[in-house]
Amino acid sequence: MHRIIATAALIALSSAHAANAETVTLDVAPQTQLQMQVPQGFCPVRAGQSDLDKAVLAFFERTFKGEAKLLAYFMDCKAYADLGTDSYAAHSWMFVLAPVDQDGNPLTLPGEKRAQVLDEIAKRATQNRNAPVSDIAFVDPERSSGDPGVDLTSQNRTLGVLDTDGNAVYQGLLSRVAANGTSGNVAGLINSTFVADHLININAYAAYDTPQAFEDLIEFSKTVAKEFISANEPPAHP
């Protein structure tokens, strides 16, 4: 499995972004585009850069099909630079997702307030602690060719709501993932928010060694959620 991320790395990633940080456009729906600042230390995977990038995105689009639309995938920049080489090792990664309805369209809740939506998400999470989450099964698409022919299994333990604030609900997921003959533990934080009438999940993952991994993910995800809301909503008038 991928080598364990150091606690200090996530603390650094959760620090303030540089003034010239990159911003990406998320194509949620034909009439809805959102902006997101790329978190410090991460790089966006883009389909137009190489065949390997296309394979990575296609793999995860198939993984999420029927559950969510993949809006963006970010990798630790060092791991991204090494993707497809013998030096490749995943440190941390993120998915930005739009949950879909039964017709496969991004779910909308017109007229709802964020506070109400987040309260409902938190209530449902408490009632259903074993909800399926597909995006914890990380595998190197270079080795798997994007097909389900690899030895990939996972055991998931849903931890429920670990924290909430006015921007998002943060649900924990601890997984034991086996891929290509090796295995390891993965900490995940499912960051659910609500912007422009759309549910958006910004999910962060890192290799797990101690419970501190979740504390670091929460700190990091709160910064990301706050910046995401600020980028897509005008400041409230007094």
Q: What is the pLDDT of residues 130-179, one digit of tens each?
A: 444 333 333 343 444 444 333 445 567 788 899 999 999 999 988 876 65
Residue 114's H or E segment, with its range, is helix 114-127
Least confident of 101-110, 149-158, 225-234: 149-158
| Joined tokens for residue 196 | 């422009």
Average pLDDT score, the chain: 79
Q: In this model, does residue 71 exceed pLDDT 50?
A: yes
Cβ partners under 8 Å of residue 140, min gap 6: 83, 88, 90, 179, 180
Q: What percent of the chain has pLDDT over 70?
A: 74
Q: In this model, does residue 125 exceed pLDDT 60?
A: yes
Least confident of 70-79, 101-110, 174-183: 174-183
At 83 the pLDDT is 83
Residues 22, 227 contacting (CB under 8 angstroms): no
- The 8-class DSSP code of residue 65 comes to T
At 210 the pLDDT is 82
Distance CA 148, CA 37 (A): 32
Q: Which long-range contacts (CB under 8 A, 24 or more apart) does 72-77 make?
A: 72/24, 72/26, 72/36, 72/44, 72/96, 73/44, 73/45, 74/38, 74/39, 74/42, 74/43, 74/44, 74/45, 75/42, 75/43, 75/45, 76/41, 76/42, 76/43, 77/41, 77/42, 77/43
| Joined tokens for residue 16 | 């303030």
- The mean per-residue pLDDT over the stretch 165-194 comes to 84
Residues 217, 235 contacting (CB under 8 angstroms): no
Residue with the larger pLDDT of the pair 148 and 195: 195
At 3 the pLDDT is 31
- The mean per-residue pLDDT over the stretch 4-33 comes to 62
Number of neighbours of residue 62 by Cβ within 10 angstroms: 13
Q: In this model, does residue 79 exceed pLDDT 90?
A: no
Residues 183, 177 contacting (CB under 8 angstroms): yes
Predicted TM-score (pTM) of the model is 0.80
| Joined tokens for residue 74 | 């970010």
Residue with the larger pLDDT of the pair 192 and 50: 192
